[in-house]
Structure 1
Amino acid sequence: MEQSEDQILAEELAALGAVGGGSGRLVGMMAKLMRKNVHEVDLHIASPFDDVVKHVTDVLAKAGRAVETPHISPGEDETIRVVVGGGAGGLNPVVVTARVLKAEDDRSEVWLRAAAKEGLIRQRAGEETAVRLAAELSRAT
């Protein structure tokens, strides 16, 4: 069963809460109530689809830990999902989803989405992570 961004973020925050001997379950419940900072970036890359998929997979693998990829209808696309550390000290989990689409000629499109939960202090972890990873993905493939 596919997990939503909210479920993944709640589980990641619960795990962080349990590390210090606290109640991870309570943190997980509270995380479901927190607002989400989401940022999306569209990239157009002048490289063949297979090369772009490999590049995106490599960049995201270095940035974080792979999690279950959402099921997208079959076609000429590939979806990769990871959890990376964002915000102050990299302690705020960010779910990053990248979808690579085959475009015309030898071009590809990458839709990048980063989402993080936010407490009282706005860290914009989703936005900052999306911008940072988009810059890395835009470098030569």
Structure 2
Amino acid sequence: MPEPDSEGWVRVDHGEDEILAEELAALGAVVGGSRRLTRLVAKLMRKNVHEIDLEMPLPFDDAVRRVAKVLGHAGRAVGSMHVEPGVDQETIRVVTSGGAGGMNPVVVTALVTKGGMGSSKVRLRAAAKEGLIKQRAGEKTAARLAGWLSE
């Protein structure tokens, strides 16, 4: 399990690289490409990653439900992980579309942590592979979802 940083946040491991490689391989196979070759190339590509910290004026359980609902509307769930038993943290992960024409898969991970006095903290992380044309799909997706969460 990844170690928490100085603020207690747990950094995402390379699992998102595996998810992105598999998603790109599936897209490549749909258009007649080699799934295996596309997966290999995807693993070598750079990632565009963007993280945004949010304060939500909601109790922890309500914040988790809100984040799960917003991310659920944005994409397909690929896992929900408890960071540590007994700790008021919940991680929600989805794969959504980004980039030109929505053809670039983006892995979005939200870590919801109990804050003080009926509030919660959310660290939103969006990661996408970048090809020759920089689309900044991770940055744009994180900003879009942060806006939806702030509404």
Q: Please indicate, yes or no, whether the TM-score normalized by the shorter chain is above 0.5.
A: yes
Tell me what 1:4 maps to.
15
Report whether the alignment pairs 1:40 with 2:39.
no
How far apart are residue 103 of structure 1 and its match? 0.7
How far apart are residue 72 of structure 1 and its match? 1.6
Pick aligned residue for 1:25 from 4, 25, 36: 36
Return the alpha-carbon distance in structure 2 between the equivalents of residues 22 and 35 of structure 1: 20
Three-state SS of the structure 2 residue aligned to 1:128 is helix
Tell me what 1:109 maps to.
121
Note closer, same or farther for the CA distance 1:60–1:119 as it changes in structure 2 (3 Å cut): same
CA contact (8 A) 1:3 1:68 kept: no
| Corresponding letter in the other structure for 2:70 | V
For the aligned residue pairs, the C-alpha RMSD in angstroms reads: 1.3
Tell me what 2:10 maps to.
none
Q: TM-score, normalised by structure 1?
A: 0.94
How far apart are residue 71 of structure 1 and its match? 5.0
Note closer, same or farther for the CA distance 1:36–1:77 as it changes in structure 2 (3 Å cut): same
Tell me what 1:55 maps to.
66
Instruction: Report % sequence identity.
Output: 65
CA contact (8 A) 1:115 1:126 kept: yes
How far apart are residue 45 of structure 1 and its match? 1.0
CA contact (8 A) 1:10 1:29 kept: yes
Q: Name the stretch that deviates more: 2-11 or 41-50.
A: 2-11
Tell me what 2:140 maps to.
128
How far apart are residue 46 of structure 1 and its match? 1.1
Three-state SS of the structure 1 residue aligned to 2:79 is coil
Q: Kindly tell me the number of residue pairs found equivalent between the two proteins.
A: 138
How far apart are residue 20 of structure 1 and its match? 1.3
Q: TM-score, normalised by structure 2?
A: 0.88
User: Would you identify which runs of 4 or more consecutive aligned residues in structure 1 move more than 4 Å?
Assistant: none
| Corresponding letter in the other structure for 1:93 | P
Q: Which has the higher contact order (CA 8 A, sep 6+)?
A: 1
Q: Name the stretch that deviates more: 67-76 or 102-111.
A: 67-76
